[in-house]
A and B are shown apart, each in its own frame.
Chain A
């Protein structure tokens, strides 16, 4: 019963943090205020900052409790700053809710229903994948030992060195932090609360892609979300993004497939269609760093960035894009460099 009550509290708090963070970012970028985009941008920015802070703390053997309370202070500051600087903007957005319903019409209800269905599916699905032993085990073990990834999640033994393939991606530690702060069980946090949030983010992103493809026509974007959901449900193989989204949404790989890579696609659309491409570059950079947070498989992300940028760069003859392109490639290459030097034994990060 206690866990059941903690789940909605957890979801609401995390969404609040993402919304405040994203709204602040959009204000700095002078983007038009829009709720789903604010939450999504905040989600990416959250994980960018989390990765930058959590990885050094992990390597320095900071305890989970100390890190969790530090991170709580950071999140509280973001929410407080959002409240101070943006409350008027939020009141104006609330005042426009009627207009939103008029623009979307009944399709909004259908779209919301489809998204709610996906959330319920991931929350109630009985998962049995072998990979969960590692990803969730990492959260459980960190909470149990009050450390950040220092213990082997599969056996419980203290590791001699960090497993770079996994431990440089801080996403599981995000779950561990929330478990420590709220007292929620790691499985409930990762496989229910965070899985629901991830599904919401994926659908918000799909909605933004739809708006970009259909020139901000929100009804067509709603229909686009519904078709994408149907396609994800009916494109099964062990490897498809739909399978990962709906059966393994607690894994970083699922977020790479359904958040980080499609975010690059949205950025590519922005580069191709928009006159002012600043927001597209910010989105691409955030996606390329947050991809590292989600999964070590983001070693493929330089290919993702290149696909999103190079063809448009050639078609529009924008050689000046070489610098932002290179900046977006840096996170992936840095990760690859650390990964391979560690694999070769040139770089060792001791865990005990």
Chain B
């Protein structure tokens, strides 16, 4: 979980993780209300499972004292949220919803209550963006931008190598090798994420490789065209870059041409440059 450390939060680490995990969703409240309903009114044998899960986890994996001392020792702070998957909140809420519906004897009443409970879930919940809200439809069966497919074709037509080394200036870097693994990426995924400010991929400030790739990222991703030209060319040489793929709207195209990059193709949104022979 990004930005959450035991060193800063101490004993409140578990609570903050829970808050970030549920992020305003009140399902845990419904879950606890259901358990209380069971304890004080409608006792059912099968529902005891939710109670013992809560108690056991509260005493162990969600115990702030244990977490405070053990989790840092096994270097599991970033992944601690995965322990929250163990708590059966969603099956629990669904179980109590079905039990409520079952209390009604008449079929029409059952249907109406089920629809009402569904409405409560939708209104109080947070829809998954891109799925339950503003569905993000894939452009093609490969789930990559159509432009990437054109760019890969262009590079292979132009290149004499079977595995050309390519710089992608944007998120195409993340999907390129999924679609076309014959492309060798110059910019490493973790270095890109670190350069973008991620705190969970590690600290590469002192790594020589990172510093070399950072020069390239500064120009093609962050449009820092005041970067020393000789340093930029040296980075391209050291990384044996063959091609650069840069968004048309970036303002580094003149810089790239001056650095010796030759445009070989242009798609709707990208320019493909060849570097070197």
Contact = CB atoms under 8 A, between A and B. Distances in A.
Given A156-B183, A272-B48, A273-B45, A237 B93 contact: no
A156 B184 contact: yes
B177 A153 contact: yes
Given A136-B178, A242-B90, A230 B23 contact: no
Interface string A191-211: 110000000000000100110
B204 interface: no
A185 B189 CA distance: 22
Nearest to B129: A236
Contacts of A157: 184
Contacts of A126: 130, 136-139, 143
A121 interface: yes
B84 interface: yes
B10 interface: no
A231 B93 contact: yes
B84 A239 contact: yes
Nearest to B85: A257
Nearest to A136: B178
B79 interface: yes
A227 B121 contact: yes
A112 interface: no
B259 interface: no
Interface string A222-249: 0110111011111111011111001100
A129 B52 CA distance: 36
A236 B23 contact: yes
Given A243-B128, A265-B88, A272-B49, A310 B20 contact: no
Contacts of B101: 223
Nearest to A118: B131
A43 to B, nearest CB: 19
Contacts of B121: 227, 230-231, 234
A325 to B, nearest CB: 14
Nearest to B133: A236
A140 B181 contact: yes
Contacts of A243: 128
A257 B82 contact: yes
A143 B181 contact: yes
B90 A311 contact: no
Given A143-B181, A187-B144, A243-B128, A300 B95 contact: no
B177 A232 contact: no
A22 interface: no
A297 B48 CA distance: 28
A154 interface: yes
Nearest to A142: B181
A124 B22 CA distance: 26
B228 interface: no
A352 interface: no
A276 interface: no
Nearest to A297: B82
A230 B117 CA distance: 10
A186 interface: yes
B91 interface: yes
A140 B183 contact: no
Interface of A: prevailing SS:
helix
Q: How large is the interface on B (under 10, 10 to 19, 20 to 34, 35 or more residues)?
A: 35 or more
A312 B173 CA distance: 49
Given A187-B143, A187-B144, A241-B90, A311 B118 contact: no
Contact of A127 (B22, B49, B117, B143): B143
A214 interface: yes
A153 B178 CA distance: 8
Interface in B61-105: 61, 79, 81-86, 88, 90-91, 93-95, 97-98, 101-102
Interface string A295-310: 0010010011011001
A70 interface: no
Contacts of A268: 49, 53
A256 B179 CA distance: 25
B114 A247 contact: no
B128 A233 contact: yes
A227 B179 contact: no
A163 to B, nearest CB: 12
Interface string A306-320: 110011100100000
Contact of A130 (B79, B142, B193): B193
Contacts of A133: 173-175, 177-178, 189
A246 B85 contact: no
A137 interface: yes
Nearest to A237: B23
A334 to B, nearest CB: 16
Contact of A311 (B55, B83, B141): B55
B158 interface: no
Contacts of B230: none
A127 B144 CA distance: 8
7 contacts: A130-B174, A154-B177, A224-B95, A228-B91, A240-B21, A265-B53, A307-B61
Interface of A: 3-4, 121, 124-128, 130, 132-134, 136-137, 140-141, 143-145, 153-157, 185-188, 191-192, 206, 209-210, 212-215, 220, 223-224, 226-228, 230-237, 239-243, 246-247, 253, 256-257, 261-262, 265, 268-269, 272-273, 297, 300, 303-304, 306-307, 310-312, 315
Given A126-B136, A155-B185, A272-B48, 6 more contacts: A133-B174, A230-B122, A233-B125, A236-B127, A268-B53, A300-B79
Interface of B: 1, 20-23, 25, 27, 45-46, 48-49, 52-53, 55-57, 60-61, 79, 81-86, 88, 90-91, 93-95, 97-98, 101-102, 114, 117-118, 121-122, 124-132, 135-139, 141-144, 163, 171, 173-175, 177-185, 188-190, 193
